[in-house]
Amino acid sequence: MIPLQLTLKNFLSYRQVTLDFRGLHTACICGANGAGKSSLLEAITWAVWGQSRAATEDDVINAGTKDVRVDFTFCSDDQTYRIIRSRSRGRSGSLEFQVMMGEGRFRSISGKGVKGTQQQIIETLKLDYDTFVNSAYLRQGRADEFMLRRPRERKQVLADLLKLDHYEVLAQRAKDQAKQYKAEVEVLEATLGPLQSRLGERGGIVEQQEQLGVQIEGLRGEQEKLKGELTHLQKEEHHRQYWENQVTWQQNQYQKLVQDCDRLYQEIEQSHQRSEGLRQLVEQGSEIKAQYEQLLQLRQQEQSLAQKFQAYQELQQQHQELQQQLLQRKNELSLSLGQQQARLTDLDQQEQEVLGILSQEGEIREALQELQRSRQRLQELDALQLEVSPLLERRHRLEMEVEQVRTRYQVRLEQLQVTKGRIEQQIAAIPPLRQRILSVDAQVMALDKKKVYQERVHEKGQERKLFRSRLEEQQKQNEQQIGELQQKLDLLAVPEAVCPLCDRALDEDHRRHVIEKTQAQQEQLQKQIWAIREDMAICERELTKLRQEYSQLQQELTVHSALIQERGQLEAQLEQSCEQYERLQELEEEMSELERSLTVGGYALELHQELHQLNEKIVQLNYDEKTHALIRGEVKNRQWAEIKQSKIEDAKRKQGELARQRPQLCDRLQNIQQQIAQLEQNSDLQRQIQQVKDQITALGYDRQEHSQLTETLRAMQGVELRYHQLEQAQAQLPQVQADEQEKRQLLQMREQERQNMGQEIQQLNTRMAEMPDYRPQIQTLEQTLQQNRQALDHRIAEQGRLGEQLRQLEHYEGEYERTQEKIQTVRQQYRVYQELSQAFGKNGIQALMIENILPQLEAETNQILARLTGNQLHVQFITQKVGKSNQGKKNPKMIDTLEILIADVQGTRAYETYSGGEAFRINFSIRLALARLLAQRSGASLQMLIVDEGFGTQDGEGCDRLIAAINAIASDFACILAVTHMPQFKEAFQYRIEVQKTEQGSQLSVLS
């Protein structure tokens, strides 16, 4: 990525600036502290990745403005791109990614939304934010971050920079998968024992089957004998039931005739009563007609009065409307009179107010002179404030920066204290954690056994379901056979029935024999259905019990997977907790160092010195904010004089206007009073009201007479109804009398039929008394057959169950072999994932990658360090050493570390013994070497290098060597930017970008 142009609008301390990078190979960004040098570089990271040092997203917006925008144009892989990122305060931002098409035209290649566009930018650059700030951007105060780490932490920092945490995730996944396969092997091995015990039951099942076969044959012979006796008795009982049905039918017919006779008696009585009522109404015909004619005359009188009433209402309404118009006109004139009187009163009040304002004219003139003197003093203090404000703002910023440094130290110390407490809690939780692992493991083993038993219950339920389906199929077959036999009986019931086999006519004896045989078959099938239903009920009860037991086991096993997962998590926690002892010691050492720095105050020394100088300048200017505020308050308090002066001028103009308005108001009042007097004495409305009153009197309408006539009509409403009933009675009387005569004749016929039917019933009862009743004997035989059938079906079902068990044992044999094969496969998968977890772990691929990259890092570092020190310093990376507890042993155990040995002409010595300038050159060499390696690993070419501060520790010779080193590596980069405020560095670069803080924000100027 080679920068071409950067345009800022309201970004941090900048308002509106543009920086053109074209032609800037090596450049120095210089300016006073706080001028905005680092903000210029932060704008690049914010435009490209949306990240900066600001705590919140709105903090990048310049104070006092509402939105921010950064346009960044750069070149990558011989292609020019432009990124436009903007944001409004309190709202979401926008992002645009464009590519140049030629002649300065850009085409958008943005993705879907801000996230999609950001991903498109990262894929184009092959560089994310973390890789950039750890490679191309050497940020302020982070040059020695790698060296100040402990040896064990350096290796972790290097792993984080190389993004090896992905392998840690893979290692954990492989470890979890291995635990799952191990648990699966344990479950499969637990299922083999029950299968072996079941396969040993085969011999006993075969012996039980042979004994049941002998018992079933004996029960079938006894069953056939009982069926023959039952068939004979059922034939005799069927003959008796036939005659019994005949008696029942005759009795039902007799009861119907009795009911018909009773109904006819009631209908004849009702017809007689109705004919009498109609005859009496016809005899009153002359009286009803006279009353009806009187009703018609009264209705004609009521219509005449209704017409007069309508005219009376219309005149009354007209009279009310005229009265309302007269009243409305009076109200309008009275309202206008009140308004004019109120205006006249208001004129009097305004004249009094004007006179009061004009009386204050002398006092206001003196107040205006005092206001002028205060404003002159305020202008002098405002000019002094413009000179002091930048110094106060800088002092405030320095105080905030000092406090931020102290806060960072305190926050880090608090974080370490929290981490220490958490580690101590983890160490204290190790014994209960081990006990919990043992408890969970015991629960998992118990649930594994229940899971095996649950499978056995499921198999038994499948066996019962199969037996029930067989019974259902047998029941359907029997019902179908019963239907076929019923069709056969229906054909035999016809007198001309023929034999269903030979098609010859059947005589009475043969037909009865075939019917009895068919009925016997029907009964036998029906009894089989009853037996099947009983077996199905027993089977359903067994299935219900198995379902309940299976559900109970299923409920108990719901926690099985959770317990297995918990066991894996607890084992991982135990493994992590055991590593915390060494971490605790390292935290205590770092906490001691931070506490010492905070107590002594050895931090931000340059900021403290600059803060002292600013305080001296502010004292020399002798600016007092309180005096400035008092003068500003006096000016504000005396501004009332200007307002009063304008009111006096307004009052003089208003006095003349009031004098002109008074005569006009007096004339209007007199005119309105005259109109009101004329309206009350003689007007058109008064004359119209009198005419309407005269018309009402001439109409002569009497409301009481109209009401009496209406009441009379209401009392005679029943006359019209009786007149219509008379007409209907004259038409219906002959028909009712004829219907009554017809029903009397029908009653005589029903009485004769009832007597004949009673004699036939007596003859049938005499014949039924001579026939014997075989039902008790048939019931006894059926109970005996039912008991034998139940015993036979029970043994048949037991025989089927044993056969099903033998078939199930064959299934178990196959399952036993498949389980053994599956155990071998799962064990192989367990070994594969166990080896993968070790390979992806810290001691596997991660350690190998660090070991492979360290020689390259060491060579790059020494090459740069040689340029900076004139081949006086040399570094060496050590990744393993002998532990303190293993020193002196024959085969000592090596421990992982990342120590950096530094050698000069006097030999090898510790990093802390080197001076600040030497330490900075060592840090700079290692940091620059890391930058090159990280850029190479990301697939991007490192074409730009940014070095932010850090040169203050160098002497004259060290500065010359740093400048020489930067110039020496300049050919490796397309653009190098160095941020500093040191004069000797400013003159060493071909181009300088000067940054100055002004009232309009930070400003830029490029000098060569």
**Residues at the annotated binding site for Zn(2+)?**
499, 502
Cα–Cα distances (Å) from 923 to 147, 948, 951, in that order, read 7, 14, 12
Amino acid symbol at 757: M
Distance CA 351, CA 655 (A): 7
Number of neighbouring beta carbons within 10 Å of residue 127:
24
User: Exposed, middle or buried, 125 (CB in 10 Å: 0-12/13-18/19+)?
Assistant: buried
Q: With contact defined as beta carbons under 8 Å apart, do 130 and 106 qualify?
A: no
Distance CA 130, CA 930 (A): 13
Distance CA 672, CA 710 (A): 54
Q: Half-sphere exposure of 966 toward its Cβ, with a 13 Å CA cutoff?
A: 25
Q: With contact defined as beta carbons under 8 Å apart, do 274 and 695 qualify?
A: no
- 699: its two tokens: 């109409």
Euclidean distance between the first and the last CA atom of the chain, given in angstroms as a whole number: 24
Distance CA 567, CA 563 (A): 6
Dihedral sign, CA of 339, 344, 347, 349?
negative
Count H helices, E strands: the chain? 23, 15
Q: Bridge partners of 76?
A: 79
Distance CA 113, CA 119 (A): 10
Cα–Cα distances (Å) from 60 to 43, 67, 134, 393, 522, in that order, read 9, 9, 22, 18, 97
Dihedral sign, CA of 643, 648, 649, 654?
positive
Cα–Cα distances (Å) from 363 to 353, 635, 699, 853, in that order, read 17, 17, 83, 90
Number of neighbouring beta carbons within 10 Å of residue 440:
20
242-246 own/partner pairs: CB under 8 Å, 24+ apart: 243/764, 243/767, 243/768, 243/771, 244/768, 246/764
Distance CA 252, CA 22 (A): 122
Number of neighbouring beta carbons within 10 Å of residue 105:
9
Distance CA 778, CA 237 (A): 9
Distance CA 30, CA 1007 (A): 11
Question: Which residue from 803, 750, 886 is spatially nearest to 213, judged by alpha carbons?
Answer: 803
Binding residues: 499, 502
DSSP string, 227-273: HHHHHHHHHHHHHHHHHHHHHHHHHHHHHHHHHHHHHHHHHHHHHHH
Helix, strand, or coil (residue 415): helix
Cα–Cα distances (Å) from 331 to 325, 335, 342, in that order, read 10, 6, 16
Distance CA 524, CA 518 (A): 10
Distance CA 50, CA 364 (A): 60
Distance CA 284, CA 286 (A): 6
Amino acid symbol at 728: Q
Number of neighbouring beta carbons within 10 Å of residue 949:
19
